[in-house]
Structure 1
Amino acid sequence: MRQAYQIQLADLGEHGARMCEVTAQAMRGASTALMDANLALAEDVIAMDVRLDEMRASAEESALELLALQAPVASDLRAVVSALWVVADLQRMGTLAIHIAKAARRRHPKNVLPSEIRPVFERMSSVALHLAGRTSQVLLTRDLDVAKGMESEDDLMDDLHRQMFAALMNPAWSHGVPAAVDIALLGRFYERYADHAVAVARRIVFLVTGDNVGGDTTIPLAAPD
């Protein structure tokens, strides 16, 4: 009975890593759709919403079953609680990628990004995917050094976000208010995607150590923006 319980607990952790891979796939596809004005790819990413919902529901069902039937304590309880946190953050990462794909679809066949700001978003995409890869690594290995290092890696996304706003506020900006609004929202989606990746890393630090690093200790009913 105890062995089956430990297997189910381990499966719950691995489920998070698989879900993280889906969010990375969504971000990769959404960024390509955005850069290339690729409508078909944008539609593929948007359709991933159903898969993400199913993955979150499956993880939550498994976690609640463990809580109800096994009454875990100490580190086992932290693992279940952390899993509930993690799947909420991961689903939100996927949703943010889908928002990017929807922006590409909304403006198709036009490209959302003017050429002068495109390099900033190419780097944002690269940082987001790097952090998603780090998140998957942390979920599988529970490597605290990698988890804690993600905080500083996220600083690059914040720098790029500031660069984006500097470009929008430049008197030389010539693409009008609607384009600026689209770009500001897109920057927010990338920035929040990175923030949720870092939040997952914090959950793993809590899981391993019991220390709450920079977050609250409540189980979210819905992931925040």
Structure 2
Amino acid sequence: MNRPVAFVGAGPGAPDLLTLRAADRLRHADRLIWTDSLVCPAIAELVPATCERIKTSHLTLEDVLPLLIEGHRAGLRVVRLHDGDTALYSAINEQICTLNDAGIPVEVVPGVSAYQAAAASLERELTVPGVVQTIVLSRAGGRTGVPEREQLERLASLGASLCLYLSARHVEEVQQTLLQHYPEDTPVAIGHRVSWPNEWLAIVPLKEMAQTSRDRDLIRTTLYIISPALEHGPQRSRLYSPDHDHLFRPGR
């Protein structure tokens, strides 16, 4: 059977935040190739006892690709498990291109992203009428950099709900840049290992973002959400307003 190699988003960490499709692929896997440095170990435990589990924290792309190709050609159900959502910073593109060149079919299963899990845990909505209607997902430049048009200064100038991944190592620089565009008391949600058993999640003023990160010794698996929407307020959406008519609720 020509089974596709499944690239699966593990979600933020909690096994019950996996999609049903992701859980199904894991429960039927013959070979699991997983990002053990970023994925909660409890998720890797969902595979069958007979499944071969291969950690990738010490491997290069050149090590991983033969494991995907050989597993597929041997008729195995191969699952490549990435943290979070496959659409964000998962590095699946170069893997899929190689598999395509080898004539191997692939399947991509999305996952819940950490920013979604963090907002849910905080019981917040990141798009609030009259406050903010845009969410930006990005990261600090770091070693791999970002395109000039996507520099943090430009993104911050929008004043949107800004979700920053992979940025804890550069938090002092990030804070300085953000303070040029957001008031210093703008709420910032800092999430470390969101939805893991040892999750740490708090809201602090922007001016305390860097110091809090240093105090908690946060580096990896840390998310920052900078948004005025994190403050609870009385703003009401017009969607359910009595004077707002639409297709399913015509005006009287």
User: What interval of TM-score do these two structures reach, taking the shorter chain for normalisation?
Assistant: under 0.3
TM-score (norm 1): 0.24
TM-score (norm 2): 0.22
Q: Which has the bigger relative contact order, CA under 8 A and spacing at least 6?
A: 1
The structure with the largest helix share of the pair is 1
